[in-house]
Amino acid sequence: MSALLYRRPWIRLVLLLLPAVVWLVIVYLGSIVGLLRYSFWSLNDFTGTLNRTLTLSTYQTLVTDPTNRDIVVRTVGLAASVTVMCGILAFPLAYYMARYATPRMKTVLYLAVIMPLWSSYLVRALSWRQILAEEGVLLWALRKVNLEGVVDVILTAPLVGGTSLIASKFSLILVFTYLWLPFMILPLETALERVPRSFLEASSDLGARPGLTFRRVVIPLAKPGLVAGSIFTFSLTLGDFILPTMFGGSEFILGQQVFVQQGVVGNDPLAAAFTLVAMVIMVIYLLAARRAGAFEAL
């Protein structure tokens, strides 16, 4: 038996491959193709039944209806804000880990960063509802230092405002940033580790101040890591529909629209069309990321 398998490696290969290929290609990819089919069908406006003839009318609705357009723009804006915030917050910790932490310390920090990633997403979101509550920790702390005015400034600000902290877009961005931050720290740390110390010394020997060295040497070399991390922060924000029900008021983002159209309204074609929009945005993003060298930093 084993001799046969050794002489005819392709038999072995087929046997090994078959289960996973069946599962991933037929069940998974098949499902996605099956879903996308719906987006080229339409819903009869009067009876609400599915009309299985090929049409682009669903996409026409998606593009011409300002509500739908707003959802796409809002979602991309949100994903971009979350990505930028993650990049800013990840930098100090990633830089410290890459440049200064002892190997032992680095292991500890690495574990500390990765653990929240694998622990419950929902639990971590839940804690922010309690932090941002009217009587919660954040407002308590701000009152202690007489900075509660900051909250009013945030709530009345355009784009990030809202009726209360929990219902503000600011919170939505903040909690998304919190949830996806480790995804940014890890690849960024890997990229920063590869920045040769001699480059920084050379830069300073040539008279560059720390700020200039940072902008002209560190940032460009860290770019692949930043882009690699942004793939996760962007993609995960794009498809989420749980968090926007917990934070950020009543304006829909893309994930919610898919969820509501499919589950509540029963408009499968529109839900499928929005899914395709999310996939297209992600594919464009991935292609751009590959050009930026992000795949080598993953």
* Residue window 185-204: x/- pattern of binding to other proteins, with contact defined by CB under 8 A: xxx--x------x--xx-xx
Kindly state whether residue 81 participates in binding other proteins, applying the rule CB under 8 A: no
Q: Is 119 left (phi over 0), alpha (psi -120 to 50) or beta?
A: beta
- Between CA 126 and CA 132, with CA 129 as vertex, the angle to 5 degrees is 145
Kindly state whether residue 50 participates in binding other proteins, applying the rule CB under 8 A: no
Distance CA 209, CA 89 (A): 23
> Counting beta carbons within 10 angstroms of the beta carbon of residue 36, is it exposed (0 to 12), middle (13 to 18) or buried (19 or more)?
middle
Kindly state whether residue 268 participates in binding other proteins, applying the rule CB under 8 A: yes
* Residue window 228-247: x/- pattern of binding to other proteins, with contact defined by CB under 8 A: ---xx--xx-xxxxx---x-
Kindly state whether residue 250 participates in binding other proteins, applying the rule CB under 8 A: no
Kindly state whether residue 46 participates in binding other proteins, applying the rule CB under 8 A: no
SS3 42: strand
Distance CA 117, CA 213 (A): 32
Q: Tell me how far, at minimum, the Cβ of 175 lies from other proteins, in Å.
A: 9
Q: Which residues contact 68 (CB under 8 A, 6 or more apart)?
A: 61, 62, 257, 270, 274
Q: Which residues contact 34 (CB under 8 A, 6 or more apart)?
A: none
User: CB-hemisphere CA count at 13 Å for 227?
Assistant: 19
Tokens of 37: 């089919």
Task: Give, as ranges, the residues between 89 and 118 that touch other proteins (CB under 8 A).
Answer: 89-90, 92-93, 95-97, 99-100, 107, 109-118
Kindly state whether residue 145 participates in binding other proteins, applying the rule CB under 8 A: no
Kindly state whether residue 140 participates in binding other proteins, applying the rule CB under 8 A: yes
- 8 A C-beta contact, residue 247 and residue 172: yes
Kindly state whether residue 167 participates in binding other proteins, applying the rule CB under 8 A: no
| Sign of the torsion formed by the C-alpha atoms of 227, 232, 235 and 238 | negative
Kindly state whether residue 51 participates in binding other proteins, applying the rule CB under 8 A: no
Phi, psi of 241 (to 5 degrees): -130, 0
- 8 A C-beta contact, residue 140 and residue 147: no
- Between CA 164 and CA 171, with CA 169 as vertex, the angle to 5 degrees is 70
Q: Which is nearer to other proteins, 138 or 168 (CB)?
A: 138
Q: Which is nearer to other proteins, 9 or 158 (CB)?
A: 9
Applying CB under 8 A, which of residues 16, 159, 219, 288 lies at the interface with other proteins?
16
Q: Which is nearer to other proteins, 81 or 235 (CB)?
A: 235
Kindly state whether residue 134 participates in binding other proteins, applying the rule CB under 8 A: yes
Q: Which residue has the tokens 């050009």?
A: 291
Applying CB under 8 A, which of residues 40, 170, 176, 259 lies at the interface with other proteins?
259
Kindly state whether residue 27 participates in binding other proteins, applying the rule CB under 8 A: yes
Q: Tell me how far, at minimum, the Cβ of 78 lies from other proteins, in Å.
A: 13
Kindly state whether residue 184 participates in binding other proteins, applying the rule CB under 8 A: no
Kindly state whether residue 28 participates in binding other proteins, applying the rule CB under 8 A: yes
Kindly state whether residue 298 participates in binding other proteins, applying the rule CB under 8 A: yes
Applying CB under 8 A, which of residues 43, 85, 181, 273 lies at the interface with other proteins?
181
Q: Tell me how far, at minimum, the Cβ of 223 lies from other proteins, in Å.
A: 17
